[in-house]
Amino acid sequence: MFLGFPIPLMKTSCSRPLPPAPNPSKNPMNGRDAILGRVREALQLSTDHHVRKQPEPAIEAASQEPNPNALPILPTDPSAERSSTFRAWLPAVGEDYEAQRELFATNSETLKTRFIPLPNREAVLETLGKIKEEEEWGKIGGHRARLSEIACEHLDMPTCWTEPGYDPQELETCDVGITECEALIAQTGSVLITSQSSGGRVLSILPPHHVVIAERWQMLPDLAAGYELLKKRYGGNYPSLISFITGPSRTGDIERILVLGAHGPRKLTVLLDESATEPPEDWQR
């Protein structure tokens, strides 16, 4: 039932009315051309009073005021040194090992990474065995590298080695993935890994617990040092995967509730051998 209420007319700030919609019967243009034609017509109309360009002097003044939160402008020359530019913008880190280890420990606690510094390799293996008993591991994943291989053989249990031709579905049944890393980044509490140093792409992602075995010489102050290390080790022939793991996998997408293990391991443990102060002889390859 129509009640006959008057409909108020809306005022516009346009200087003239919008052009009429094209009549398909009189105009052979297709729908796309018709829409674009109306956009062109609308762009010729004057805008509302609150939609105006800033005066040029105001723009120039804003561009001259430095923003302390702005990202650094890097040199465009690929051969230029860029690390100092990054370091001037990123948080400062202590120069000695003790300060860097302390910062890494603090960040690890915040990120819910279990970080355990140990005096030597024997202590690392002993601690790894205790974690195995605590969590009742039934099967482990590992890769054929110096530290990972020693650790997996010490545990003496069923192991899925990520060698060419292995079955990824078998790796999915492992309780833990044990890998090496490229470096530990004190500044962010991150573990820097590559497909070369961590047994491929999935060993650090698929099992629910990721254990990283690192040595003292791998503790680096900041992200810039991490990139410098990769360049020194690999030159231009970088591995197919480079990743900074900053705590266990997490998400807060659902009502901002933090959930661990949503897209990868829900546990991250870093065992640090503090007796190893130099890289192995075959490290740079």
Residue 6 belongs to a domain: no
Residue 215 belongs to a domain: yes
Residue 75 belongs to a domain: no
pLDDT at 47: 52
Tokens 């443990």 locate to 269
Which residues form the domain of 262? 96-273
Residue 68 belongs to a domain: no
Residue 27 belongs to a domain: no
Residue 84 belongs to a domain: no
Identify the bridge partners of residue 213 per DSSP, sorted by sequence position. Answer: 271
Tokens 């999915």 locate to 172
pLDDT at 50: 46
pLDDT at 13: 47
Which structure tokens are listed for 65? 């005021």
pLDDT at 283: 79
| Residue 221: other Cβ atoms inside 10 A | 22
Mean pLDDT of successive 10-residue stretches along the chain, which has 285 residues: 49 52 56 78 59 49 59 64 70 91 97 97 98 97 96 97 92 96 97 95 93 98 94 91 89 62 83 95 75
pLDDT at 264: 75
Report the number of distinct structural domains present in the chain: 1
Q: Please report, for the domain that includes residue 131, its CATH number.
A: 3.40.50.10420
Strand 140-142 to 176-179 pairing: parallel
Give the span between the Cα atoms of 269 and 105, in whole angstroms: 12
pLDDT at 70: 65
Q: What are the residue ranges of helices labelled H in 65-205?
A: 83-89, 97-111, 121-135, 146-155, 168-171
Give the span between the Cα atoms of 60 and 232, in whole angstroms: 42
Residue 118 belongs to a domain: yes
pLDDT at 1: 47
Residue 11 belongs to a domain: no
